Amino acid sequence: MALHDKTAHELHDLLQAKKISAAELTADIFKRIDEAEDKIGAYLTLTRDKATADAKAVDDKIARGEKIFPLEGIPCAIKDNICTKGIRTTCASKILENFIPPYDATAYKKLAAQNVIVVGKANLDEFAMGGSTENSGFHVTRNPHNYDCVPGGSSGGSAAAVAGGEAIFSLGSDTGGSIRQPASFCGVVGFKPTYGRVSRYGLVAFASSLDQIGSFTHDVTDCALVLNAICGHDEMDSTSTAAQVPDFTKSLVADVKGLKIGLPAEYFVKGIDAEVETAVRNVAKKFESLGAEIVEISLPHTEYAISTYYLIAPAEAATNLERYDGVSYGARVDGADVVEMMTNTRTEKFGAEVKRRIMIGNYALSAGYYDAYYLKALKVRTLIQKDFIDAFKNVDLILTPTTPNAAFKLGEMTSDPLKMYLQDICTVPVNIAGLPGVSVPCGFNKSNLPLGFQLIGKALDEETILRAAYTYEVNGL
């Protein structure tokens, strides 16, 4: 097996035993990038020189006989909406094409403290608005399993980098499924922690009450290691939870005996691909055979989740994106006066999907429609949250499809935004409720495209999710 196909924990053992060097590993990743990047397009910026220097520093530490952190010397990718001091951070938007942040995002800073090797900034849908990474202002990203298909979005570059061997793990962000959906499409593990579990400081805001940083990894063990590194309270983020962070690797116990796992009827309705439904129901049977109890449950307000999300998220996005006006930073397109300059800048530098969501958001927040749309969406959000609270009185976890279908063809949905939005039907309720969720691979369809299942847990109960996901992983399909 090539180094770039190994897990972080396998590579850690090899590094600590001096069977490989961090320089050798980093060189292998860049060799793979040189081979595959023209076909995949996972990256917007590569940091070859810095990564090479950082790898040498790790090797020097090992040579001195010092122990290394679990992720030390491991090459990773960072989604390009996570600020990295001195490294270009574009959000895949022309308006930030040359923006270099003066500070680090907390999640990135925590990885840097473990001497992780960052090889580059990964492509995404512009400002994380999209589900296919076709909305990037620079180029599309392709699915490593089939170059004619999308990798999902908005964290498509982060998912494709791991699936394509161009990084060992990566960070993404998840506002309505932007980690879990591409993880399912690309056949990797994608974890969205509880809202507030990972600091959002330095994550360029899309929808502030929904955004959360998470990870893409080859397996569940690596997922626990990344969570250990990035979780924790941060005074720089007022929404950051003060809850104690456990050692998530202690959750990696292959035992689901006694766990109650709910199957919500609303996630197995018309519109879910038959192969996806069969695969997820087989996962339920596997859990049952391993000692879990499968319980049929209902989350009755699920049908309103997409409508609710596409009022709340664009409203918050419209507010957050007001700062990109050509005045303080970012691109500027000149005009006869300030108003014309701002208009020209936003017209020319924002892509179509970003403009669409800004307009939807401003409409929902406008004086005549605020009560009818935005306020009503907030009330429905409370009902969706209550559905989960009620369900978790009877079950420990909830099992669903991650996506209604496998990865679709490039260009297949670009002309139909509503159809694209419906791709998030299984994932947005989790963000609306602020809960943790993971997508785990569960085989392939007849077209040899990956399929994934989603496990949803109680707030701050990432440990039970990891336990069940790990149990499934080690017991095979």
Nearest to 432 by CA among 309, 298, 263: 309
Q: Is 184 a known active-site residue?
A: no
Which entry of 6, 21, 79, 458 is annotated as an active-site residue? 79
CA angle centred on 272, ends 462 and 443, rounded to 5°: 60
* Side-chain half-sphere exposure of 3, counting CA atoms within 13 A: 23
- Can you say how many angstroms the Cα of residue 217 is from the centroid of all Cα atoms in its chain? 11
Catalytic pick among 21, 154, 170, 184: 154
Helix (H, G, I), strand (E, B) or coil at 460: coil
| Whole-number Å distance between alpha carbons of 441 and 454 | 9
Fill in the amino acid letter for 14.
Answer: L
Q: Tokens 């996962």 identify what position? A: 283
Query: Distance (Å, rounded) from C-alpha 62 to C-alpha 13?
Result: 12
Centre a 10 Å sphere on the Cβ of residue 417 and count the other Cβ atoms it contains. Answer: 16
**Beta-carbon neighbour count of residue 46 at 10 Å?**
18
**CA-to-CA separations, 3 to 22, 111, 187, in angstroms, rounded:** 11, 21, 18
178 a catalytic residue: yes
Rg (CA), the chain: 21
Asked if residue 463 lies in contact with residue 413, where contact means CB atoms within 8 angstroms, the answer is no
Catalytic residue among 93, 136, 170, 178: 178
Q: Kindly state the tokens that stand for 72.
A: 């030390």
- Taken as a whole, the chain contains a residue count of 477
Examine residue 154 and say whether the peptide bond preceding it is cis (omega within 30 degrees of 0): yes
CB 77 within 8 A of CB 167: yes
Q: Report the distance separating Cα 155 and Cα 78, nearest Å.
A: 10
Q: Which two tokens stand for residue 247?
A: 């050692």
Q: State the burial class of residue 304 (Cβ atoms within 10 Å of its Cβ: 0-12, 13-18, 19+).
A: middle
- Looking from the CA of 109 toward its CB, the CA atoms found within 13 Å total 16
**Residue 52 burial by Cβ neighbours in a 10 Å radius (0-12, 13-18, 19+):** middle
Residue written as token pair 């409508």: 307
Is residue 154 part of the annotated active site? The answer reads yes
Write out the catalytic residue numbers.
79, 154, 178
